[in-house]
């Protein structure tokens, strides 16, 4: 703060000097010096022309000051030099007028006091500058007085010196008080500036935190976001821990992108993954990486839980049920069977922001993640592919295990990336599969009631009573659902 204050004071003094020395020279000194020719007619009538010629030197003095200010060094590091040049000229010329018009008895010494008052009170000198300015004003006059061959008239000289001393004292006091006021004003202004900078920093930091948390909100459940806000969780470190990872993929999405309208393609994928994300976050599953037509998610990070395997498969079963409920809706847009494949696996992985916290995504990396990806590619349509070890891991939850159907897929050897190893794989699906039949009774978008809108004979248009969804069904399908 002290260094910044000193810098601000120096810059303020530089600005004042640059401004005021120009005013003092061109607007005050030059006109006043020349106008005082009228005074010469009263105090030195026999020397009017001589004094006028001397006064004319004020013009080249002003030109020299102007030239000095053209130099960058003068403007930056030696900004007081032109002011010292002005005071030296005015002191020398006024001292000479006093010397040749009576010396210590001359009334022209009063002009030195006027110059002193103007210099010490008008310009923001520091102590060294005050002393130098006083010397450049009075030294030429005193030096000339002591060069006299005659004896000094101390009855005149001593009062003059006393008046000069009083003038200097008042000038010093005025300058110091003005300087204190100026420093106080600069300090207040600096405090206000720093306070505004702090506020801007806080606003910027809070904005960045808001954007950061908004980004994380797409990955974590609300309770995890709350823990991050309250500093209960730290995301700055990369850790290695056991997680249950999930890969979700839409089968043949690349092929369909070339066969159906792009708007229908993107809308179907967007609707599906919007549902997936809602389900995953509801079950405290972290969204890791979006893969275009698939995504990676995982449990047990950043929050730890003993039941992370159960949470993962529960969320995935719910995704399959949601997809099943919307089967007709997805198929219409897809113009083919809309099939989902899921792989789940438990294992150790590195968790953190990759490539870094500022520009990366909070995700998982490691061998177990690669295996999960392979399981997803091996999964049957609309099912979850897991290993035997995973089934054994969740088998302790009797209530949960009763809600799934697990079908053996056989032993798989030499899975890409895992050559020389074998895995006993199982296909897992929800145990109840009546969601497709119920499609005609409930809206696939909001689960609102579908009501008859138009009777078309063997078919009918049904519209959702809650949202804008409507669809065309054959009446016998509706009867079967009833």
Report the pLDDT averaged over residues 213-219.
69
Pairing of β 340-354 and β 383-387 = parallel
**DSSP conformation class of 23:** I
Q: For residue 31, is pLDDT > 80?
A: yes
Which one, of 312, 335, 336, 337, lies nearest residue 248 by Cα?
A: 312
Q: Does residue 346 sit in helix, strand or coil?
A: strand
Identify the band that residue 279 occupies on the pLDDT scale cut at 50, 70 and 90: very high
Q: What is the mean pLDDT of residues 120-125?
A: 86
Q: How far are the Cα atoms of 89, 118, 132, 285, 293 from residue 10, in angstroms, in the given order?
A: 26, 21, 18, 59, 63
Question: CB–CB of 446/466 below 8 Å?
Answer: yes
Distances in whole angstroms, Cα of residue 182 to Cα of each of 5, 81, 179, 359, 457: 11, 22, 5, 47, 93
Residues 6+ positions from 332 with CB-CB distance below 8 Å: 471
Residues 170 and 119: their CA atoms lie apart, in Å, by 12
Partnered with residue 365 across adjacent β-strands are 350
User: Using an 8 Å Cβ cutoff, are 126 and 184 in contact?
Assistant: no
For residues 272 and 340, give the distance between their C-alpha atoms in angstroms, rounded to a whole number: 10
Eight-class DSSP state of 237: S
User: Among 66-70, 142-146, 389-393, which is the least confidently predicted range?
Assistant: 66-70
What ranges make up the beta strands (E) of 126-263?
A: 239-250
Give the pLDDT band (50/70/90) at residue 135: very high
Nearest to 363 by CA among 232, 221, 220: 220
pLDDT at position 72, please?
Answer: 57
The whole-angstrom separation of Cα 303 and Cα 292 is 26
Residues of 112-137 as b/e, b for ≥16 C-beta within 10 angstroms?
bbebbebbbbbbbbeeebbebbbebb
Cis peptide bond N-terminal to 302, omega within 30: yes
Check whether 476 has a pLDDT greater than 70: no
Residue 313 CB neighbours (<10 A): 26
User: Does the global pTM surpass 0.85?
Assistant: no
Residue with more model confidence, 122 or 248: 248
User: Is pLDDT of 73 > 80?
Assistant: no
Contacts of 218 (CB under 8 A, 6+ apart): 277, 287
Strand, helix or coil at 347? strand
CA 17 – CA 25 distance, rounded (Å): 12
pLDDT above 80: residue 479: no
Phi, psi of 246 (to 5 degrees): -130, 130
Kindly tell me if the per-residue pLDDT of 435 is higher than 60.
no
pLDDT attached to residue 359: 61
Q: Is the pLDDT of residue 454 over 80?
A: no
The reported pLDDT for the residue numbered 384 is 96
| Interval 291-306 mean pLDDT | 88
How far apart are alpha carbons 236 and 445 in whole angstroms? 38
Q: Which residues contact 443 (CB under 8 A, 6 or more apart)?
A: 449, 450, 464, 466, 467, 469
Which residue matches tokens 């530089």?
14
Distance between CA atoms of residues 229 and 208, nearest Å: 13
Domains observed in the chain: 2-193 (no CATH), 222-435 (3.30.70.1230), 437-482 (no CATH)
In degrees and rounded to multiples of 5, residue 106 shows phi and psi of: -75, 135
406 strand-pairing partners: 428
Res 377 pLDDT > 90: yes
Residues 473 and 451: beta-carbon distance below 8 Å: no
Question: Are the C-beta atoms of 384 and 343 separated by less than 8 Å?
Answer: yes
Range 414-425 average pLDDT: 92
Give 341-356 pLDDT, tens digit per residue: 999 999 999 988 787 6
Average pLDDT, the chain: 83
Structure confidence at residue 194 as a pLDDT band (50, 70, 90): confident
- pLDDT level of residue 482 (50, 70, 90 thresholds): very low
Q: What token pair was written down for 124?
A: 């923001």
Share of the chain above pLDDT 70, in %: 87
């Amino acid at each position: 703060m002290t260094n910044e204050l000193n810098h601000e004071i120096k810059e303020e003094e530089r600005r004042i000097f640059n401004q005021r020395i120009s005013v003092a020279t061109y607007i005050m000194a030059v006109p006043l010096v020349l106008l005082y020719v009228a005074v010469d007619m009263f105090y030195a009538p026999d020397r009017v022309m001589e004094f006028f010629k001397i006064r004319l030197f004020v013009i080249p003095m002003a030109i020299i000051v102007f030239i000095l200010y053209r130099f960058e060094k003068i403007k930056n590091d030696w900004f007081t030099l032109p002011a010292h040049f002005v005071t030296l000229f005015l002191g020398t010329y006024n001292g000479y007028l006093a010397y040749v018009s009576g010396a210590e008895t001359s009334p022209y010494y009063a002009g030195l006091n006027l110059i002193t008052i103007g210099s010490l009170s008008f310009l923001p000198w520091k102590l060294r500058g005050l002393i130098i300015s006083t010397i450049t004003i009075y030294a030429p006059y005193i030096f000339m007085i002591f060069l006299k061959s005659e004896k000094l008239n101390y009855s005149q000289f001593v009062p003059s010196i006393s008046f000069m001393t009083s003038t200097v004292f008042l000038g010093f006091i005025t300058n110091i008080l003005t300087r204190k006021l100026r420093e106080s004003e600069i300090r207040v202004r600096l405090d206000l500036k720093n306070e505004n900078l702090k506020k801007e920093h806080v606003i910027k930091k809070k904005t960045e935190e808001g954007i950061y948390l908004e980004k994380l909100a797409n990955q974590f459940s609300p309770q995890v976001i709350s823990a991050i806000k309250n500093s209960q969780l730290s995301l700055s470190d990369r850790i290695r821990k056991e997680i249950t990872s999930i890969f979700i993929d839409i089968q043949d999405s690349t092929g369909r992108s070339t066969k159906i309208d792009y708007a229908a393609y993107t809308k179907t994928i967007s609707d599906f993954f919007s549902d997936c994300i809602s389900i995953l976050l509801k079950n405290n599953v972290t969204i890791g990486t979006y893969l275009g037509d698939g995504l990676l998610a995982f449990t047990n990070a950043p929050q730890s839980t003993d039941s992370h395997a159960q949470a993962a498969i529960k969320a995935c079963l719910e995704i399959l049920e949601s997809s099943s409920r919307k089967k007709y809706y997805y198929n219409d847009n897809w113009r083919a069977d809309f099939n989902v494949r899921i792989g789940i696996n438990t294992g150790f992985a590195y968790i953190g922001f990759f490539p870094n916290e500022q520009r990366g995504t909070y995700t998982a990396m490691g061998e177990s993640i690669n295996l999960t990806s392979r399981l997803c590619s091996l999964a049957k349509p609309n099912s979850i592919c897991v290993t035997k070890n995973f089934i054994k891991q969740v088998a302790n939850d009797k209530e949960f295990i009763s809600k799934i159907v697990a079908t053996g897929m056989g032993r798989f050897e030499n899975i890409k990336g895992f050559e020389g190893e074998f895995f006993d794989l199982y296909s897992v699906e929800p145990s109840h599969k009546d969601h497709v039949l119920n499609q005609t009774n409930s809206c696939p978008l909001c689960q609102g009631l579908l009501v008859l809108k138009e009777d078309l004979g063997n078919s009918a248009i049904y519209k959702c009573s809650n949202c804008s969804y409507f669809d065309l069904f054959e009446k016998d399908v509706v009867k079967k659902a009833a």
